[in-house]
Structure 1
Amino acid sequence: MKLNQISDNPGATKDRMRVGRGIGSGKGKTAGRGVKGQKARTGVSIKGFEGGQMPLHRRLPKRGFNNIHAADLNEVNLGRVQEAVDAGKLDAAAPVTVDALVAAGILSRPRDGVKLLGVGELTAKLSFEVTRASKSAVEAVEKAGGSVSVVYASGVSTRGGGAEAAAQ
C-alpha cells in the first residue's frame, strides 16, 4: 500500500450541502431558511427572544456571586498522599510541596496551590507546605508526627509572623 492509495471507508465522508442551487436540489430558493424576515438573513442570532414576552433569563431573579479573584486550588486527601508514599512515588523525608505532588502524579498541574483535606488514613511522618489545610487534615498530620506549614503560591509562609517575618 502506498500513501496515495489510502482512502476513507465507503460512506465515511459526505459532500457538503450546496444550498441555493435550484428547485431540483431540495435546498433551492429559500435554501432551507423559511421565508423572509430577520431569521432568513445571514449573521443574525436572536437568542432568548420570546416574541415580545419577557424572556426567561430576565424573568428569573439574579442569584449569587462569582468571584473572579478566587484561588483555583487542587484538593488532595491524606489517603491519596499515603498511597503515593507506600508506592514509593513520594519521598517521606522531603517536604511535600505542590511540585512534589505533581512529580508524584497525584496532581496533573499545580494551578494556584493545594488544599489539604483530612479524608483517609495517614501513617507516614510528613512535613507539608500547602496553600490551605482543613482542621482535620492538620490534626491527622500532627497525630502522625508530621507538620503542616501554610504558604502562599509566592512561597511566603503565613505561620510565625506572616508577611512581616518574611520581610526581615
Structure 2
Amino acid sequence: MKLHELRDNPGSSRKKKRVARGPGSGKGKTAGRGIKGQTSRSGVALGGYEGGQMPLYRRLPKRGFSKPNRKEYAVVNLGLIEKFVAAGKLDIKNEITEDLLVAAGVTGHKRDGIRVLNKGEVTSKLNLTVTGASASAVEAVAKAGGKLTVTAPVEAAAE
C-alpha cells in the first residue's frame, strides 16, 4: 500500500448540505423549511411545548432524591495496595495514611476520604489509617498480621 492509494471507507463521510444557494441546488428559495409558519423562521423553540397539552416531562412521575451534601469516598481495594507494596511504592515499615496512598498513585484523589474494600489478596503486614473500610477488609488485614484503623470523616470547616 502506498500513500496515494489511501482512501476513506465508502460512505464514511458525506458532503455538507448547502442550502439557500439558488433553485438549481434543489434546496433553494425556502431552503427546505417549507412556506410560512413558526418552523420556517429562525429562533424556533418547540422543544417541550405540546400546544397547550400537559407536556410529557410534567405527566411522568419524578422518582428518587439526590442528597446535595453526600459524602463521596475514593474506593481502594486491598489487592491494589498489596501490588503497590510489592512494587516498592509503599513502605510497610511506617504507617500508611490517605495522603501517602494519593502520593504513591494508588488513587488519584481522596475526595471526602478513602474507603478500603476487601478485594484481592493481602500478605503484607499493613498498618493502614483511612476514613472508611469494610468489615471484611479490616478482618483480612488483621489476619495478615496488620492493623487497619478507621478514622471519622473530616468535616468541612463551617464558615
Regarding TM over 0.5, the answer is: yes
Change (3 A) 1:10 1:77: closer
Indicate conservation of the 8 Å contact 1:90/1:104, yes or no.
Answer: yes
- For residue 30 of structure 1, what is the aligned residue in structure 2? 30
Indicate conservation of the 8 Å contact 1:133/1:150, yes or no.
Answer: no
The structure with higher relative contact order (CA 8 Å, sep 6+) is 2
Which secondary structure state, in structure 2, belongs to the residue aligned with residue 65 of structure 1? coil
1:65-114: per-residue Cα shift (whole Å, max 9, x none)? Answer: 01121122211111111121112222212333333223333213333321
- For residue 48 of structure 2, what is the aligned residue in structure 1? 48
Name the % identity. Answer: 52
CA RMSD of aligned residues (A): 3.1
1:16-75: per-residue Cα shift (whole Å, max 9, x none)? Answer: 544322222233222233443333332333223445544332222111101121122211
Aligned residues, how many? 147
- For residue 148 of structure 1, what is the aligned residue in structure 2? 149
Unpaired segments of 5 or more residues in structure 1? 1-8, 156-168
1:108-153: per-residue Cα shift (whole Å, max 9, x none)? Answer: 3333321111222222222223222122222222333223232535
Which secondary structure state, in structure 2, belongs to the residue aligned with residue 99 of structure 1? helix
Change (3 A) 1:36 1:125: farther
Change (3 A) 1:97 1:48: farther
The Cα shift of 1:10 comes to 8.3
Unpaired segments of 5 or more residues in structure 2? 1-5
- For residue 78 of structure 1, what is the aligned residue in structure 2? 78
TM-score under structure 1 length normalisation: 0.68
